[in-house]
Amino acid sequence: MTLIEVAIALVIISIVSLYFLSYFTNSEAQSKLTNQKLSATHLANAELHKVQAIPFNDLEGRLTASNCTQLPEQTSNEIYVIDTQICRNHPKYTSNPDVLYITITTSWAPDKDQPGQYKHKVSIVGAAKKNYAIDGGK
């Protein structure tokens, strides 16, 4: 083997190594984002269960004339911001006077270009039913 062949082999090995190194770096960032999204989903689900535990009449009493109300914003670990909205109807579901729709949005990573906005958010929708306990959970 000549010195030129060895140099060419080293260049090829370097290019292949850099490709795989960038793959591992990108997968680490994607894994971190996935873990943050999972945490945000768990926080939203926990908040949904808290709101669903509030008696229906109390939730209904918080509604405004616009048929929706925003509960006070919460911060969890100074990373996630949790917004809770309660409405009489939801665009994806059939309207029912005995059901209130609860939308929980968990946001994180403030956007530097748009103050007050976040780069990432997860929303889940649940419901509270009038006389749910009386109906035996149906």
Instruction: Give the pLDDT score at 121.
Output: 94
The model's pTM is 0.74
DSSP assigned state of 66: T
* pLDDT for the residue numbered 134: 55
Low-confidence stretches of the chain (pLDDT beneath 50):
none
What residue type is 40 in one-letter code?
Answer: A
In tens, the pLDDT along 20-55 reads: 887 777 788 889 899 999 999 999 999 999 999 999
**HSE of 18 in the Cβ direction (CA atoms, 13 Å)?**
6
The set of residues, in sequence order, having a beta carbon less than 8 Å from that of 128 and lying 6+ positions away, is: 51, 52, 54, 56, 59, 86, 99, 100, 102
pLDDT at 14: 93
Angle at 132 between CA 131 and CA 135, to 5 degrees: 80
Q: What is the pLDDT of residue 67?
A: 85
| pLDDT computed for residue 24 by the predictor | 77
Nearest to 60 by CA among 123, 134, 132: 132
pLDDT number for residue 133: 56
- List the structure tokens of 65: 């004339």
Q: Which residues contact 93 (CB under 8 A, 6 or more apart)?
A: 101, 125, 127
What is the predicted pLDDT for the residue at 122? 95
- If you search the block for the tokens 């911060």, which residue do you land on? 75
